[in-house]
Chain A
Amino acid sequence: MKKQSIEELQKICTQLRRDVLRMVHAVQSGHPGAPLGCAEFFVALYFDQLHHNPDFQMDGKGEDLFFLSNGHLSAGWYSVLARSGYFPVEELKTFRKLNSRLQGHPATHEHLPGIRVASGSLGQGLSVAIGTAQAKKLNGDDKLVYLLMGDGELQEGQVWEAAMYAAHYGVDNLIATVDYNGQQIDGPTTKVMDLKNLKAKWEAFGWEVIETKNGNDLKSVIEGLELAKSLTGKGKPVMNLLYTEMGYGVDFMVGTHKWHGSPPNDEQLAKALGQLEETLGDY
């Protein structure tokens, strides 16, 4: 894929946000908050960073792979997959409907290109990504494995089993990103279950840790991912703490857990879309 300018990529972010809002609005269900906050990450990854092949193969040999552990960000992932050519953009309108390949949470069962494992039950994706990264090593494949997970998700014990394991085996072809939005369903993570010093935690587990302080600034996100890539192959798994704002891009949605899993009504949708220019054409 030819590299696009920041301005062009920015347009995709805006369109992704429109897609997400229209998708969850259409079925009056789903999770808008976190995908809005991760738009820059999704676009930076799929349109700038990943060496990937939209001609989808499950084993992903010879290409970078991405796993979404926090499966409730499905609307954002489906949008970026469609917009980067994995399946027709039109298909976004089937999201969460009967007989759709775009299940509420990502699944392999319906054979949607781009998805290699189901997610939705939190805490499992890091393990899968590590296993795939190790398989890449066994296959002599020098491409990378990327993963996104939530910050609340880090409360799951399995994540730390996986963290320990990846460092022990020096799984250094892996870049894990945490959507560090400080929010989860019941409120801010500091109130629900304080994650305290995440950087120190991952470092203590033996990871190389970088912080992307402005996860809603496209240039910063790309620089963060570039830096992360430069740290691969050095014996340690790489953690990218991506500071984002849940609901970013829509003034009345930003910075609160209230939009974690609530769709906008008609009026709210209209108001939100008024803040997001239609750049690539709505599905």
Chain B
Amino acid sequence: MSLDLKFTYTEKKDTRSGFGDGFLEAGRRNPNVVGLCADLIGSLKMGDFQKEFPDRFFQTGIAEANMIGLAAGMAIGGKIPFAGTFANFATGRVYDQIRQSVAYSDKNVKICASHAGLTLGEDGATHQILEDLGMMKMLPHMTVINPCDYNQTKAATLAIAEHEGPVYLRFGRPSWPIFTPADQKFEIGKAWKMIDGKDVTIFATGHLVWEAVVAEAMLRQEGIHAEVINIHTIKPLDEEAILESVKKTGCAVSAEEHQINGGLGDSIAQTLIRHNPAPLEYVGVNDSFGESGTPTQLLEKYGLNAENIVKAAKRALARK
């Protein structure tokens, strides 16, 4: 049975390309934008910027700690540094550097993290960081963004260039449906209600926004009307949008390519607990590491795909 999707796509692309294209555009708009990368220029799609602005781009070699410090220093000198590497090495490996030199020092550094989550696929658990959102959202001063497709990632990249302050921008490796508009305006901290519904709210971030769109259509076939809200900004969290939606629907599901511990769902739970306790079901990785496989296989095995969102929505509904 074919699904009646509220959002569709004609093309797939990786979100990191959205970052790379946005980064190039940001560089054209503002001469203070500079780039740094720790031997992953191709993977981060930073090559076009490097080619066009060689004097404003710094290959750091495989030395992420140094890269974070360099970026803080460049920010002191009035530059807007975008420091790119894999999400694992952009967070866990350099947590103390980010904490002291960037977050506590409130530097205008953009930490650009690719290959986040399970969907980097075959490289396996050493590279599949599932704790980064938690680590970054715990840092005072840090803004944390996880866009959902190529277009949104590009828009987010342009938006963070204009935002003053430390930002963690998370994106990924796999080719993914492009289902949001090319000309969208990206407002940091403002959730986007993509689909109106009345029975249950699905709060999704990153790649799982697409899974939520699919889940909504599946639920509708069974007469369940889900509201889908795109939480591209994990911090600051749009609590108002969350509360308004749950007030209407009475229950919710969070969906993210991240550990349940410390992720988006955790933040939503805090919001609901404080203002409007309501049933919430988590779609996320449940306290385990990932493994090698294709993105599709991994999302299925770890319970993160549309089918799992549907099941979670039904569980939440049953608890109303």
A-side residues, CB < 8 A to B, are 58-61, 65, 107-109, 116-121, 123-136, 138-139, 141, 157-158, 161-162, 164-165, 168-169
Contact = CB atoms under 8 A, between A and B. Distances in A.
Contacts of A61: 77-78
A136 B74 CA distance: 8
Given A119-B100, A169-B58, A128 B69 contact: yes
B77 A124 contact: no
Interface string B71-83: 1111111110100
Nearest to A107: B104
Most chain B CB inside 10 Å of its own CB: which residue of A65, A121, A133, A158: A158
Interface residues of B, number: 32
A165 B61 contact: yes
B66 A158 contact: yes
B69 A127 contact: yes
B63 A126 contact: no
Contacts of B34: 138
8 closest Cβ pairs, A-B complex: A135-B77, A131-B73, A127-B69, A161-B63, A161-B66, A131-B70, A132-B73, A128-B73
Nearest to A71: B100
A138 B66 contact: no
B106 A59 contact: no
20 contacts: A61-B77, A116-B105, A117-B72, A117-B101, A117-B107, A118-B100, A121-B100, A123-B65, A124-B65, A124-B97, A131-B76, A136-B77, A138-B56, A138-B79, A158-B65, A158-B66, A158-B69, A161-B65, A162-B69, A165-B70
B55 interface: yes
A123 B81 CA distance: 21
Label chain B's interface by main secondary structure.
helix
Given A134-B73, A161-B63, 11 more contacts: A107-B104, A108-B106, A118-B100, A127-B68, A128-B70, A128-B76, A131-B72, A131-B81, A132-B73, A158-B66, A168-B61
A138 B77 contact: yes
Nearest to A156: B65
Contacts of A123: 65
B60 interface: yes
A132 B66 contact: no
Given A118-B100, A134-B58, A138-B56, A58 B66 contact: no
A85 to B, nearest CB: 21
A134 B63 contact: no
A258 B77 CA distance: 38
B96 interface: yes
A59 B96 CA distance: 23
Contacts of A118: 100-101, 104-105
Contacts of B100: 118-121, 124
